[in-house]
Amino acid sequence: MNVIKKIASRVFQGAMYIVTPFLPWRKPELLVGENKILELPNLIKKQGLSKVLVVTSKDLIDLGLLNGLFTQMKNDSLEYVVYDGTIPNPTIDNIEEGLALYNENNCQGIIAFGGGSPMDCAKGIGARVARPDKKVSQMKGLLKILKKLPLVFAVPTTAGTGSEVTVAAVITDSSTHEKYPINDPMLIPRFAVLDPLLTLGLPKGITSTTGVDALTHAVEAYIGKGNTSETKDMAEKAVKLIHDNLYTAYSNGKDIEARMNMQLAAHYAGIAFTRAYVGYVHAIAHSLGGQYSIPHGLANAIILPHVLEYYGDTVYDKLSSLAKIVGIVGISSKEKAERFIQWIKDLNKSMGIPNKVPGIIEEDIPVLVKRALSEANPLYPVPKFMDEKDMNAMYHQIMA
């Protein structure tokens, strides 16, 4: 990247750093612990709501994860309508279908139940309710909503995205295969339930990739130039919890303590990156998710060590600090940073995560490069910039 573009990007990021504390931030009110999902209907009714839209996926319906919630909603005389058409990497079509169901049934609020995809879909539906005058594509980027959404109650069933606390909804345009974030503080859910029992049935592959997704959130927030004292603290807590609990949750999915700790880790990492932003790992992962429907957590897990190695000495000090927190030792900051990256590689390998991304087509790379750079620059306060040549080389490095 030429000097002028670098300076312009840093000026933009500096302005965002100054303005960000004045935005209408909030954190969701939490219900934390085993069986807390059963307290949600009563909480919803206390907010004056009598009918809600439940946004989820067919897989979660089939697994029976919502049965307890549905029973309790009936017991508490809370009416509900279900939209279960959400797919991985939710689309504009998903949002419009959910919006139609919301409006047709005179719903008053939204329950987002599932992983990052139902969360993003629910946020998108809420945004369209708040801004019926705007298409989803017109909300792409920063602060394009700026109106109060209906109440969103987030119930994560994975420990990875942290979507229950973030300003982002990531949407795919199925006609162009472009995947992009909508960023606005209005998207932060008002309430969230962290119930480890909802994660007990997660397959190993989802446990592993969503867990490294949370790690990616924490690390990218920590090494970027948008870090604050709060995001630093949240990222450090998240990394420590992931280091101590992810492999346990992966190898013994019934370990309640590990599952609860991973939910907390994802939540802390969500707080960190929603304030400090992410970086090129996410920009690349979004492009791959849009083009090939590669699950976001899997893409992040594969890409993370490659991008950290690209950053080189610009992240040695910060990675060495994270290394110290998780008990990784070394003589120099470089050695500790390199060992931290190696720990990520070893963790991925131990959980069956590959080190290359399958399915990337050579002819698609120019478009992927353009989309990733368009998302990342100038918004993401990355420690070291990539230009088209660097990004092109990165796609060739990660492709199987």
* Per-residue model confidence as pLDDT tens digits over 96-126: 999 999 999 999 999 999 999 999 999 999 9
Percent of the chain with pLDDT over 90: 97
Q: What is the pLDDT of residues 292-336, one digit of tens each?
A: 999 999 999 999 999 999 999 999 999 999 999 999 999 999 999
pLDDT at 56: 98
233-268 in b/e form (b: 16+ CB < 10 A) is ebbbbbbbbbbebbbebbeebebeebbbbbbbbbbb
For the stretch 275-290, pLDDT in tens is 999 999 999 999 999 9
Record the pTM. 0.96
Region of residue 293 (phi > 0: left; psi between -120 and 50: alpha; otherwise: beta): left
Average pLDDT over residues 173-195: 95
The domains of the chain, with CATH numbers, are: 24-199 (3.40.50.1970), 203-398 (1.20.1090.10)
Across the chain, what does the average pLDDT equal?
Answer: 96
Q: Is the pLDDT of residue 2 over 90?
A: no
pLDDT of residue 15: 95
| Range 36-52 average pLDDT | 98
What per-residue confidence (pLDDT) applies to 164? 97
Q: What is the pLDDT of residue 217?
A: 98
pLDDT for 291 equals 96
Q: Residue 201: pLDDT above 90?
A: no
User: In this predicted model, what pLDDT tens digit does every residue of 56-104 receive, in sequence order?
Assistant: 999 999 999 999 999 999 999 999 999 999 999 999 999 999 999 999 9
User: Which of 122, 129, 182, 124 has its CA nearest to residue 152?
Assistant: 122
What pLDDT sits at residue 339?
98
Strand partners, 151: 109
pLDDT at 1 over 90: no
